[in-house]
Amino acid sequence: MKKVAGLLTLIAVGAIAFAATKGDSIGAKEAPQSSLQEEIQYPPEVKAAMVEAQKAAQDWLKLVDSGKYAESWDKGSEVFRHTITRDQWVTALDQARKRLGGVKSRALTKELPAWNPNGLPPGAYMVVEYNTAFDLATNSGEVLTLRQEPGGEWRVLTYNFN
């Protein structure tokens, strides 16, 4: 499990490193942090983007949950697809998810928008976090980073779980 989790983390780091070579980075403008008790008031256009990104994350996770790992790679962001081959992704995810088992429950815990983060191509990004219970790992979490592609579609850039 550690080897596969390490590979998936390496994928995330590789995606960031690859992205840094694809264009100029502009200083990050991150969304304000909040405590669980306080609700951030985002402008309507940001709220709409958050809804779209979360739907894209859920749709992508459905592919992964149903074992459609190759299709999840196809639906990943351009940067993601340049970071790992389709076969490497399928193998790594298959090994990892076999050790976790099926998803028993998944609850959204956080969404954080960001614009133009350092080391990545300029644009809109969203970090989506879930508390996830798997059959064999009941107290887990998942974190997805999504990028809004030039055509406007939200696609997964990184996927991490613990």
Three-state SS string across 48-64, please?
Answer: HHHHHHHHHHHHHHHHH
Predicted TM-score (pTM) of the model is 0.77
Question: How sure is the predictor about 154, in pLDDT bands with cuts at 50, 70 and 90?
Answer: very high
Distance CA 146, CA 126 (A): 5
CATH number of 2-161: 3.10.450.100
Q: Which two tokens stand for residue 56?
A: 């894209």
CA 91 → CA 9, 72, 74, 136, 143, distances in Å?
A: 15, 13, 15, 19, 20
CB 133 within 8 A of CB 103: yes
Question: How sure is the predictor about 41, in pLDDT bands with cuts at 50, 70 and 90?
Answer: confident
Average pLDDT value over all residues in the chain: 82
What's residue 9's pLDDT?
A: 39
Question: How sure is the predictor about 28, in pLDDT bands with cuts at 50, 70 and 90?
Answer: very low
Quick one: average pLDDT of 81-99?
96
What's residue 38's pLDDT?
A: 52
